[in-house]
């Protein structure tokens, strides 16, 4: 159908427009560059890493940075540069898919609650509130310790816990929209509920939910790396920034490089995602600074 | 008004009830039970029986829930799996230490956040705002364990100004704790302060753009008087609830930070009990932390109720 | 010769666009305010009138800046003064009464405090003297029981009371100039007339100069000595009120006055084409060129300057003012009278309809019963004939929109029946209505910004009823959409536009197109012109009338604007507090208003003519709930009889002119009482 094609073209145009607006401010541009850099690095790094990330060589223990080992070596003699550029892969994948899951279930439940209102809405929100009041770290640790630390556990678990906040945002956005006259108009015309949700509500809450999802991504990354820092994330010897920091921390008084390299990697990625999310929100006309990180 | 207060308190209690159900059910639903999880390979025969007996796991779930919940109400969380220790005895001093750390962070964080938020809003888009806003974005995004690690590296190891690792016993008095908590407090309050400052900023900016502030200016009200009488009361009121949510987020940060600094609080207990799969302790921790969260939010709700003239007038009318 | 209190010289205010261009909102404004004079500044939204008023206090909004020019007050340029110095002028020498007092009073401070603050800043009175002064001021603006009023918070007052507080606050510093920025917009008709009367009194009393900014020529006509007409950031006309309103020698004012519906002239007013240009879009030539009936090529290239016409004591910005001078009088023949083919064929019948907003108790919910002895809307009996335009009028809270919603099926009725084409009962529940019934009744809303989905293109918006009711697809659908858009005079290139890319009038056209795409029998119009600019309003009314003539559609038209209702309706029903007061052919109701409420309502209408003054009959009290027993209007009725009005629901009676009213007083007696006043 020609209509559909046009719509797709419109969406691409819109994405292009949004990215252009995002890049028009220095902070947005920096964020986009950092994020793109990290994504490319995560996809392509296995092709050109200089050393084997799990090659242990006791003779090279804690070598300071040199032309041979750019970021030095760690306590097991592994090349820190290799491990640093590989260290974001798991974090990025897990949190990206985790945010997608959070977006999906949080968004749908939120829209549902906003739509039905009344008693059902009250009960669901009470339960969400209860989940919110258990500190995320405790809940995550419990799940991970009981079910293991595979990505298959981590992605849905993170997705679940970070979706709670999206429920609230989606619900509030839906509440705002359904009071509008164009929804009343569609109801009065006699459109079906599904058609109203799909055609009238979704396009108007989509932006708010997507911005929320982008924000969740950066918080999820923070949460995920905290987990792996505590030893409940990625299992060794897979390189991961949180784990690397945790391992190298004890020796940082004489081998600071082994700590600083992963710190730099992780911080730059989080800042990149944050700046991008900020610019994204601004490009879509949503102020995100009033949101609390829950 | 009175009715509203009662309603909020009831809602808080319901939330806590649901939390207790979730934590209890969570442990029930997950594969294995406390004893098999804890004993791992030795989970058979007599050892298992003994464990079941000790925890009373051979009675139906709802009976266990009732007796557990009844105990919790009396500050009795039963016995931990690992030792024969009563959980509340282990918890007591650690809760105190964590509260010291958290309250110090809050007490330092809130005034700084208010100050920064107001400054950035009033000098919006000018140099103070640009500098502070950039700094807050960075401090907001860096996880606690990174800022904590960097603080130790720079302040404790390179500059040698303060102790990097806390080496006081759990039962230490507050005065013994004080010099040790400076770095942890900074690490914890960084994220929280940055978040709150940003919220205060946008709230103040919103109010500054309102018709009544324009009216106050056109009435000839001097600038600072306008800020204090017309802007801040209206800008900070909605911020209270969001600040409460941020404080709740801080509880997670406390756990991580305590581990980094080896601080004798709940954080290490969390990690230990989870590593040891000591589920009764985990349950106790969950309910305690959730109570703190609900309590903080309740206080924020009540404060908003007390301060909002719109809600105050309900009282007059009734 | 009167002394000048404020003088504005060549003032240009603008902003920096994203591309870095300087765009002017105000262009080269020069005028002056004399002592004791009331100057009305009139213009549509975006004409720069509020920016000008704020500049007169030395205030420029965030994002705007002064490009050139000055605002002289007592030989000082306000726009160059420091904030410290301005604090001594604002509120003391020049005071502002804002548009929306509800949002302009600080919510956390009591009324008394806010007035006291102004007194503290601008007078040397002591605490006890100030307390007295507060009571005095609140008395002066005629607020009941000043002592308790001072203890209230702004949100506890009604809109009219808030506006009065704002007036009291402005008077606290006894200023030399009072600036009023749309002070009555958003208030009910009767409240508006009362506030204006108060302002007139104050102006006479204190001898302050007033600057009255408004889009409403009716209000301007009532208060001003002199009128400044603004268009697209320029002064286009400046002169005495009578010469401006009776002898408009600028084409914009000429067209505008013709396009305003008036109570004294039944029928549809002429419409003006187009809409005001966006700031910065006109690079050369006259800014009104695009919409001007008198323009020639000269107007396209050269910008006219403000020229003083001695005979009329008026300045005008137009090359063609001489042509207009001869056309002067706005004659009644400019009005198109409407004649609808009303068939004696009942299409909709409301019989004893009651609607309640009361929350149902759980048990009642189970029994599907609504228990409310005092519902929002009660006992409505109206039948509507095919091809007719029936108007529902009343102030806010009169239940007029509520009735529309229940006809559309959006609200459940408590009692009574709504029947379509005599035999088809309109079910309470939208979901149980037949698709053909759903199609037959369409709604047009007040604000097209809210009623059009901001994420849909015009094509998608109009396609929805076509797909839903007729199942059209592909080329057939597109052709139909183009056809429908053509009907509302929107070209094919509008298809891909989003609502935010359209002007207010265009948006409302899209909404009209969407309603007509369903080929409905009845269209429910809910305040469809209220959100539009005056010059656009007439065009939409004309369009609605043409479409009706083409399709034979029946309209139920809800509005608070009595002049608009007079222009478009065949029959009018007057509602107060959800109860019918009077119903009858529009001509009769407007000529011979019988019910006391209709009399009050019509008396309060402001005509854009300084020689027609409003008649204020009843007090403007705000009632929150309809009375439990008796007549709905008992609380405000100037002709109340006594207990009978409080206890018994008045009976229907019909006059020889065909209006039916609900009143305990005999129609003939009412008429005698009216003439004796």
What's the CA gap between B99 and C294, in Å, rounded?
Answer: 80
Contact B140, A243 (CB under 8 A): no
Same domain, C523 and C634: no
Helix/strand/coil for B33: coil
Q: Which residues contact B12 (CB under 8 A, 6 or more apart)?
A: B294, B295, B297, B298
Tell me: cis bond preceding A237? Omega within 30 of 0 counts: yes
Nearest CB to B221 within list C54, C117, C156: C117
Q: How many CB pairs under 8 A join A and B?
A: 151
Q: How far is CA C382 from CA B16, B153, C390, C632, C660, in A?
A: 55, 83, 10, 18, 11
**C309 part of a folded domain:** yes
Contact predicate A106/A174, CB 8 Å: no
Output the tens digit of pLDDT for each of chain A's 294 residues. Answer: 345 555 566 778 878 888 888 888 888 888 889 888 888 888 887 777 777 767 677 776 767 777 766 677 777 767 777 777 778 888 888 889 999 999 999 999 999 888 887 788 888 888 887 777 777 777 788 777 777 777 888 888 888 888 888 888 888 888 888 888 899 889 888 888 888 888 888 888 888 888 888 888 888 888 888 888 888 877 777 788 888 888 877 777 777 777 888 888 888 888 888 888 888 888 877 655 544 444
Predicted confidence (pLDDT) at residue C365 exceeds the cutoff of 70: no
Q: Does B318 touch chain C (CB under 8 A)?
A: no
CB C551 within 8 A of CB C520: no
The DSSP symbol for C155 reads: G
pLDDT of residue A293: 43
Q: In this model, does residue C506 exceed pLDDT 70?
A: yes
Return the pLDDT at B314.
43
CA atoms of B124 and B109, how far apart (whole Å): 21
**Greater pLDDT, A287 or C75:** C75
- Residue C380 CA to residue C352 CA, distance in Å, equals 5
Per the model's pLDDT, the better-predicted residue between C16 and A55 turns out to be C16
CA atoms within 13 A on the CB side of C95: 23
Q: Residue A82's domain is classified under what CATH number?
A: 1.10.3720.10
For residue B294, the chain A residues in CB contact (below 8 A) are 133
Per the document, the length of chain B is: 318
Among the partner residues A135, A226, A229, nearest to B289 by beta-carbon distance: A135
- In angstroms, the CA C482 to CA C486 distance is 6
Average pLDDT over residues B170-190: 76
Q: C668 CA to chain B: closest CA distance, Å?
A: 44
- C393 pairs with which residues across the strands? C559, C574
The predicted-structure confidence for C95-148, as pLDDT tens digits, reads as follows: 998 888 888 999 888 899 999 999 998 888 888 989 999 998 888 888 878 888
Residue A259 touches chain B, beta carbons under 8 Å: yes
Average pLDDT over chain B reads: 78
B220/C173 touch (CB, cutoff 8 Å), yes or no: yes
Last residue of a domain, which of C540, C569, C598?
C569
- Please, which residues 35-74 of chain A have a Cβ atom closer than 8 Å to chain B? none
Rounded to the nearest integer, the mean pLDDT of chain C is 85
Half-sphere exposure of A189 (CA within 13 A, CB side): 30
Task: Report which DSSP code applies to C268.
Answer: B
Residue ranges matching CATH 1.10.3720.10 in chain B: 88-317
Q: For C552-591, how does the pLDDT look when each residue is reduced to its tens digit (9 = 90+)?
A: 899 999 998 888 998 889 899 999 988 999 999 988 888 8
CATH number of the CATH domain containing C273: 3.40.50.300
**Residue C527 and residue C638 in one domain:** no
Question: What whole-number distance in Å separates Cα of residue C2 and Cα of residue B299?
Answer: 63
Arch. (CATH architecture) of B88-317: Orthogonal Bundle (1.10)
Looking at the structure, do residues C266 and C355 belong to the same domain, yes or no? Answer: no
- Report chain A's C-alpha Rg in angstroms: 22
pLDDT at C233 over 50: yes
pLDDT tops 80 at residue C664: yes
Residue C440 sits in the same domain as residue C555? yes
- What pLDDT score was predicted for residue C575? 92
Compute the Cα dihedral for B138, B139, B144, B147 and give only its sign: positive
CA nearest B190: which of A169, A293, C319, A211? Answer: A293
Distance CA C187, CA C190 (A): 8
In 3D, which of A283, A111, A117, A121 has the Cα closest to residue A211?
A283
Q: Given this model, what pLDDT does residue B42 score? A: 64
- DSSP H helical ranges for chain A: 2-23, 26-48, 80-86, 89-116, 118-133, 136-147, 151-178, 181-189, 193-195, 202-229, 241-249, 257-283
Q: Which residue among B11, B14, B249 sits closest to A292, beta carbon to beta carbon?
A: B249
Contacts of B313 in chain C (CB under 8 A): 153, 155-156
Task: Give residue B196's pLDDT.
Answer: 86
Residue C577 has what DSSP assignment? T
pTM: 0.82
Suggest the residue from A8, A20, A179, A181 to mutate for an interface test with chain C (most C CBs closer than 10 A).
A181
The answer to whether the Cα torsion of C33, C38, C39, C43 is positive or negative is positive
Q: Domain span at residue C408?
A: 346-569
Last residue of a domain, one of C520, C535, C569: C569
Boundary-marking domain end, from C274, C306, C330: C330
Partners of C474 on chain A (C-beta within 8 Å) are: 1-2
Rounded to an integer, what is the distance from CA C307 to the centroid of its chain?
A: 32
* Among the listed residues C602, C508, C590, the one whose alpha carbon sits nearest the alpha carbon of residue C560: C602
Tokens encoding C346: 């009942």
What residues contact residue C16 under an 8 Å CB cut-off, 6+ apart? C22, C23, C65
- The yes-or-no verdict on residue C592 having pLDDT over 80 is yes
- The answer to whether residue B233 neighbours chain C at the CB level (below 8 Å) is yes
Are residues C107 and B310, on separate chains, in Cβ contact within 8 Å? yes
Q: Do B211 and C100 lie within an 8 Å CB cutoff?
A: yes
Same domain, C507 and C652: no
pLDDT tens digits, residue range C483-505? 999 989 888 888 888 888 888 88
pLDDT in tens, A239-280: 888 888 888 777 777 777 778 888 888 888 888 888 888 888
Paired tokens of B162: 């303060």
- One domain, residues C378 and C504: yes
Residues 6+ apart with CB under 8 A from A221: A91, A92, A95, A266, A269, A270, A273
A47-61, B284-298, C106-120, C434-448: which range is least confident on average?
A: A47-61
Report the C-alpha gap between B85 and C582 in whole angstroms: 84
User: B119-147: per-residue pLDDT in tens?
Assistant: 998 988 888 888 888 888 888 878 888 88
- Do C209 and C268 reside in the same domain of the chain? yes
**Residue C508 CB contacts under 8 Å (≥ 6 apart), including other chains:** C444, C448, C528, C529, C531, C532, C536, C540
Beta bridge partners of A154: none
Chain B residues closer than 8 Å to C103 by CB:
210-212
Domain assignment present for residue A8? The answer is no
- Least confident segment among A124-128, B196-200, B312-316, C82-86: B312-316
Q: Contact at 8 Å (CB) between C49 and C43? A: yes
Q: Do C464 and A199 touch (CB under 8 A)?
A: yes
Could you tell me which residues are beta bridge partners of residue C178? C95, C210
Neighbours of chain B (3+ CB pairs under 8 A): A, C
Q: What is the pLDDT of residue C337?
A: 65
A262 phi and psi angles, rounded to 5 deg: -65, -35
Angle at which helices B87-122 and B174-208 pack, to 10 degrees?
40
Q: Is the pLDDT of residue C288 over 80?
A: yes
Give the residue-averaged pLDDT of C470-478: 88
pLDDT score of A1: 39
Name the pLDDT band for C366 (thresholds 50, 70, 90).
low
pLDDT digits (tens, 9 = 90+) for C382-397: 989 988 999 999 888 8
In a domain, C579, yes or no: no
pLDDT digits (tens, 9 = 90+) for B85-128: 677 777 777 888 888 888 888 888 889 999 999 999 898 888 88
Q: DSSP assignment, residue B230?
A: I
Q: How far apart are CA C319 and CA C251, in angstroms?
A: 10
pLDDT at C390: 93
Among A278-282, B245-249, C517-521, the range scoring the smallest mean pLDDT is: B245-249
Distance from CA of A188 to the nearest CA of B (A): 35
Instruction: Give me the number of domains chain A comprises.
Output: 1
Residues C623 and C490 placed together within one structural domain of the fold? no
The predicted-structure confidence for B214-226, as pLDDT tens digits, reads as follows: 989 888 888 898 9
Q: Is the pLDDT of residue B53 over 80?
A: no
B125 touches chain C (CB under 8 A): no
Determine whether the interchain pair B271/A146 forms a contact, defined as Cβ–Cβ distance below 8 Å. no
Lowest mean pLDDT among B10-19, C438-447, C521-530: B10-19
CA C261, C267, C272, C274 torsion-angle sign: positive
Inter-residue contact C211 to C178 (CB < 8 Å):
yes
Of C95, C83, C14, C45, nearest to C280 by C-alpha is C14
Same domain (yes/no): C557, C445: yes
Distance, C-alpha A122 to centroid of its chain:
28
**Residue showing tokens 């299992």:** A235
Q: Report the gap between the CA of C113 and the closest CA in chain B (Å).
A: 11
Residue given tokens 């009651």 in the structure block: C354
Residues C260, C179 share a domain? yes
Lowest mean per-residue pLDDT among B49-63, C241-255, C626-640: B49-63
| Whether residue C357 is found in the same domain as residue C433 | yes
| A155–chain B nearest CA distance, Å | 17
Only one residue has tokens 């507080």, namely: C165
Nearest-CA distance from C52 to chain B in Å? 14
Asked if residue B317 has pLDDT above 50, the reply is: no
CA distance C96 to chain B (A): 7
Q: How confident is the model at residue C331 (pLDDT cuts 50, 70, 90)?
A: low
Pairing of strands C4-16, C226-231: unpaired
pLDDT for position A2? 44
Spatial CA neighbour of C601 closest among C656, C560, C653: C560
Contacts of A248 in chain B (CB under 8 A): none
Q: Is A142 on the interface with B (CB under 8 A)?
A: yes
Determine the distance from the C-alpha atom of residue A159 to the mean position of all C-alpha atoms in its chain, rounded to a whole number: 9
In the three-class reduction of DSSP (H, G, I as helix; E, B as strand; rest coil), residue C455 is classed as coil
pLDDT at C36 (0 to 100):
87
Instruction: Decide if pLDDT at C226 tops 90.
Output: yes
pLDDT over threshold 80, residue C301: yes
Count of domains forming chain C: 3
Give the three-state DSSP class for A192: coil
Q: Show the domain range for A162.
A: 17-283
- Residue B237 contacts A, CB cutoff 8 Å: no
Distance, C-alpha C13 to centroid of its chain: 28
CA distance B200 to B203: 5
Helix (H) or strand (E) holding C352: strand C346-355
Over residues C449-456, mean pLDDT? 88
State whether ipTM is beyond 0.90. Answer: no
CA distance C264 to chain A (A): 34
**Is A290 domain-assigned?**
no
Q: Specify whether the CB–CB gap between C398 and C577 falls below 8 A.
A: yes
A266 vs B: CB within 8 A: yes
Cα separation, C381 vs C1, whole angstroms: 61
- Residue C545 and residue C599 share a domain: no
């Amino acid at each position: 159908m020609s209509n559909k094609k046009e719509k797709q073209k419109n969406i691409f145009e819109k994405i292009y427009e949004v990215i252009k607006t995002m890049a028009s401010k220095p902070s947005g541009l920096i964020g986009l560059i950092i994020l793109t850099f990290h994504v490319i690095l995560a996809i392509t790094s296995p092709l050109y890493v200089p050393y084997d990330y799990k090659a242990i060589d006791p003779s090279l223990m804690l070598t300071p940075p040199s032309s041979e080992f750019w970021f030095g070596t760690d306590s097991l003699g592994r090349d820190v540069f290799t491990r640093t550029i590989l260290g974001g892969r798991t974090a990025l994948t897990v949190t990206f898919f985790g945010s997608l899951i959070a977006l999906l279930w949080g968004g749908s439940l939120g829209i549902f609650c906003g739509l039905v209102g009344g008693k059902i809405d009250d009960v669901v929100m009470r339960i969400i509130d209860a989940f919110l009041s258990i500190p995320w770290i405790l809940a995550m640790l419990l799940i991970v310790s009981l079910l293991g630390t595979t990505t298959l556990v981590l992605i849905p678990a993170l997705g679940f816990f970070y979706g709670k906040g999206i429920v609230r945002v989606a619900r509030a956005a839906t509440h705002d929209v359904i009071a509008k006259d164009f929804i009343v108009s569609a109801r009065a015309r006699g459109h079906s509920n599904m058609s109203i949700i799909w055609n009238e509500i979704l396009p108007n809450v989509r932006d708010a939910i997507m911005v929320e999802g982008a924000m969740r991504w950066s918080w999820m990354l923070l949460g995920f790396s905290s987990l792996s820092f505590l030893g409940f994330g990625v299992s060794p010897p897979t390189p991961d920034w949180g784990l690397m920091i945790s391992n190298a921390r004890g020796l940082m008084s004489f081998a600071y490089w082994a700590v600083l390299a992963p710190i730099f990697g992780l911080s730059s990625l989080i800042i990149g995602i944050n700046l991008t999310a900020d610019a994204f929100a601004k490009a879509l006309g949503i102020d995100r600074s009033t949101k609390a990180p829950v | 008004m009175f009715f509203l207060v009662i309603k909020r308190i009831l809602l808080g209690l319901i939330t806590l009830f649901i939390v207790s159900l979730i934590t209890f059910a969570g442990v029930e639903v997950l594969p294995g039970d406390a004893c098999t999880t804890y004993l791992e390979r030795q989970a058979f025969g007599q050892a298992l029986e003994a464990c079941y007996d000790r925890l009373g796991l051979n009675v139906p779930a709802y009976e266990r829930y009732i007796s557990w919940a009844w105990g919790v109400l009396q500050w009795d969380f039963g016995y931990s799996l690992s030792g024969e220790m009563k959980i509340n005895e282990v918890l007591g001093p650690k809760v105190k230490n964590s509260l010291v750390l958290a309250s110090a962070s809050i007490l330092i964080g809130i005034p700084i956040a208010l100050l920064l938020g107001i400054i950035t809003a009033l000098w919006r888009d000018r140099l103070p705002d640009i500098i502070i806003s950039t700094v807050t974005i960075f401090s907001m995004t860096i996880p606690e364990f990174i800022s904590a690690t960097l603080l130790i590296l720079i302040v404790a190891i390179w500059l040698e100004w303060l102790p990097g690792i806390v080496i006081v016993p759990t039962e230490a008095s507050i005065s013994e704790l004080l010099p040790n908590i400076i770095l942890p407090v900074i690490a914890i309050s960084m994220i929280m302060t940055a978040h709150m400052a940003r919220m205060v900023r946008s709230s103040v900016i919103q109010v500054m753009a309102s018709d009544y502030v324009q009216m106050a200016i056109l009435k000839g009200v001097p600038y600072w008087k306008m800020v204090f009488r017309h802007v801040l009361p209206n800008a900070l009121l909605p911020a209270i609830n969001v600040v409460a949510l941020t404080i709740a987020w801080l509880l997670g940060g406390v756990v991580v930070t305590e581990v980094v600094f080896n601080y004798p609080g709940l954080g290490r207990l969390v990690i230990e009990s989870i590593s040891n799969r000591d589920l009764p302790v985990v349950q106790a921790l969950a309910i305690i932390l959730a109570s703190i969260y609900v309590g903080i939010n309740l206080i924020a709700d009540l404060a908003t109720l007390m301060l909002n003239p719109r809600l105050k007038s309900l009282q007059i009318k009734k | 010769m009167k002394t000048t209190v404020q003088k504005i010289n060549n003032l240009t205010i603008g902003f920096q666009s994203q591309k870095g261009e300087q765009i002017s909102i105000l262009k080269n404004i020069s005028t002056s305010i004399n002592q004791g004079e009331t100057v009305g500044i009139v213009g549509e939204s975006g004409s720069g009138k509020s920016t000008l008023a704020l500049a007169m206090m030395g205030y420029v909004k965030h994002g705007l800046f002064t490009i050139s020019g000055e605002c002289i007050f007592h030989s000082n340029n306000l726009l160059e003064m420091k904030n410290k110095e301005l604090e001594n002028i604002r509120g003391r020498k020049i005071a502002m009464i804002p548009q929306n007092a509800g949002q302009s009073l600080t919510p956390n401070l009591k009324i008394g405090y806010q007035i006291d603050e102004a007194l503290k800043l601008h007078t040397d009175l002591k605490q006890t003297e100030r307390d007295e002064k507060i009571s005095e001021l609140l008395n002066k603006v005629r607020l009941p029981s000043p002592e308790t009023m001072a203890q209230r918070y702004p949100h506890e007052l009604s809109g009219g009371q808030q506006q009065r507080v704002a007036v009291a606050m402005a008077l606290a510093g006894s200023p030399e100039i009072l600036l009023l920025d749309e002070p009555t917009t958003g208030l009910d008709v009767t409240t508006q007339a009362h506030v204006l009367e108060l302002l007139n009194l104050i102006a006479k009393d204190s001898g302050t100069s007033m600057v009255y900014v408004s889009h409403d020529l009716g209000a301007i006509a009532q208060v001003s000595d002199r009128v400044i007409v603004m268009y697209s950031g320029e002064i286009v006309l400046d002169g005495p009120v009578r010469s401006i309103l009776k002898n408009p020698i600028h084409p914009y004012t000429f067209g505008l006055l013709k396009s305003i519906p008036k109570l004294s002239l039944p029928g549809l007013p002429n419409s003006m084409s187009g809409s005001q240009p966006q700031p910065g879009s006109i690079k050369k030539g006259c800014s009104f060129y695009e919409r001007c009936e008198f323009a020639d090529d000269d107007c396209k290239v050269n910008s006219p300057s403000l020229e003083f016409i001695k005979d009329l004591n008026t300045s005008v910005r137009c090359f063609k003012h001489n042509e207009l001078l001869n056309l002067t009088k706005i004659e009644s023949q400019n009005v198109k009278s409407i004649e609808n083919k009303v068939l004696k064929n009942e299409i909709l019948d409301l019989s004893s309809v009651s609607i309640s907003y009361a929350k149902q108790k759980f048990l009642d919910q189970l029994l599907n019963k609504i228990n409310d002895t005092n519902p929002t809307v009660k006992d409505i009996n109206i039948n509507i004939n095919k091809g007719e335009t029936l108007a529902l009028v009343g102030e806010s809270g009169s239940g007029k929109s509520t009735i529309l919603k229940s006809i559309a099926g959006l609200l459940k009725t408590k009692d009574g029946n709504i029947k379509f084409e005599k035999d088809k009962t309109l079910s309470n529940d939208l979901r149980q209505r037949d698709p053909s019934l759903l199609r037959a009744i369409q709604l047009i809303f007040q604000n097209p910004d809210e009623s059009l989905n901001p994420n849909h293109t015009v094509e998608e918006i109009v396609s929805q009823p076509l797909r839903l009711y007729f199942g059209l697809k592909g080329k057939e659908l597109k052709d139909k959409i183009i056809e429908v858009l053509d009907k509302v005079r929107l070209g094919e290139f509008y298809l891909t536009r989003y609502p935010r890319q359209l002007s207010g009038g265009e948006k409302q056209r899209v909404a009209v197109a969407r309603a007509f795409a369903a080929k409905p029998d009845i269209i429910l119009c809910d305040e469809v012109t209220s959100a539009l600019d005056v010059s656009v309003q007439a065009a939409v009314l004309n369009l609605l009338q043409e479409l009706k003539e083409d399709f034979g559609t029946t309209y139920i038209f809800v509005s608070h604007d009595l002049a608009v209702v007079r222009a478009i309706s065949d029959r009018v029903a007057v509602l107060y507090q959800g109860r019918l007061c009077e119903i009858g052919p529009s001509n009769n109701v407007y000529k011979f208003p019988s019910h006391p409420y209709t009399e009050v309502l019509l008396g309060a209408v402001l005509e854009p003519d300084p020689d027609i003054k409003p008649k204020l009959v009843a007090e403007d009290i705000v009632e929150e709930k309809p009375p439990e027993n008796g007549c709905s209007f008992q609380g405000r009725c100037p002709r109340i009889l006594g207990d009978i009005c409080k206890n018994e629901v008045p009976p229907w009676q019909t006059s020889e002119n065909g209006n039916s009213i609900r009143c305990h007083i005999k129609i003939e007696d009412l008429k005698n009482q009216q003439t004796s006043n």
